Amino acid sequence: MSEYLVHLIPGSPFSRAALATLEEKGAPYRVMPVASGLRSAQHLSRHPFGRVPVLEHGDFTLYETQAILRYLDRVLPEPALTPADPRRAARMDQAMNVNDWYLFHGVANVIAFQRIVGPRLMGLTPDEAAIAAAMPKARTVFDELAALLGEQRYFTGDSLTLADLLLAPQLDFMQQTPEWEALATSHPNIRRWLARMQARPSFLATTWEKVAAKAQAATAAQATTRAASG
């Protein structure tokens, strides 16, 4: 089995979704932090829109998280993470798009950024007005996710799918904000599902801290290799 290389930034929920999928598949992989910056020429040559993650598999390079997850599920068929039933597969696709278009855009990229990413990585003070403005959309998103989940163990039924692996990192981030209680109090099914996801080995192996440690080791190894060859 050939190794997978994931270019990422530690803490990125989208990158974590890719890593958790690789973990669920039991596939060998390495991480490489985007040390040069998302807008650097080096990274833009991999991803013209300056985002993460980017997957390298042999001579094949792929960006966009949903594309990466679906690729991994095709080339690593066991365990299957896409339902065979067309309606359940469609529900998976729907939940994944809710993640990208509604949970991330206008909700997590505002609230989680203001509460976690900005203060932790950039020393910024949270913009309370921006957070308050994002809350109405956040409530709509949480209401809809709770309705899609219902009383199922996972978003399409009893089995884990790509939808769960994409949604969980975003909601894990949101859980770390003060806004979580206001959003999740009336949705105990979301709380139970997230706890179930957080307990999976794939999520325990891909925390911000563990990925950061792997990224630091990769950077050090790269520097050693350059020094030896220079």
* CATH code: domain of residue 120: 1.20.1050.10
Residue 147's domain comprises 86-199
- Band (pLDDT 50/70/90 cuts) for residue 1 is low
- 167 lies in the same domain as 100: yes
- 173 lies in the same domain as 189: yes
- Band (pLDDT 50/70/90 cuts) for residue 129 is very high
> Residue 13 sits in a domain of what CATH number?
3.40.30.10
What are the tens digits of pLDDT across the range 53-89? 999 999 999 999 999 999 999 999 999 999 999 999 9
- 193 lies in the same domain as 215: no
| 31 touches 54 (CB < 8 A) | no
d(CA 229, CA 93): 46
Amino acid 37: pLDDT: 82
- 117 lies in the same domain as 145: yes
Does residue 13 have a pLDDT over 70?
Answer: yes
- 54 lies in the same domain as 155: no
Q: What is the CA radius of gyration of the chain?
A: 18
> Tell me, what DSSP letter sits at residue 150?
T
- 93 lies in the same domain as 171: yes
Does residue 95 have a pLDDT over 70?
Answer: yes
- 195 lies in the same domain as 220: no
- 62 lies in the same domain as 141: no
Max CA-CA distance within the chain?
59
- 113 lies in the same domain as 58: no
- 92 lies in the same domain as 157: yes
As given in the structure block, the two tokens for residue 147 are 């309705």
Into how many domains does the chain fold? 2
> Tell me, what DSSP letter sits at residue 138?
H
d(CA 200, CA 123): 32
- 110 lies in the same domain as 185: yes
- 69 lies in the same domain as 99: no
Mean predicted confidence (pLDDT) in 102-125 = 96
pTM of this structure:
0.95
Query: What mean pLDDT value characterizes the chain?
Result: 95
User: Could you count the other beta carbons within 10 Å of the beta carbon of residue 3?
Assistant: 11
Does residue 230 have a pLDDT over 70?
Answer: no
Does residue 193 have a pLDDT over 90?
Answer: yes
Q: What is the 3-state secondary structure (H, E, C) of the chain?
A: CCCEEEEECCCCHHHHHHHHHHHHHCCCEEEEECCCCCCCHHHHCCCCCCCCCEEEECCEEEECHHHHHHHHHHHCCCCCCCCCCHHHHHHHHHHHHHHHHHHHHHHHHHHHHHHHHHHHHHCCCCCHHHHHHHHHHHHHHHHHHHHHHCCCCECCECCCCHHHHHHHHHHHHHHCCCHHHHHHCCCHHHHHHHHHHHCCHHHHCCCHHHHHHHHHHHHHHHHHHHHHHC
Residue 92: name the closest of 66, 131, 118 by CA.
66
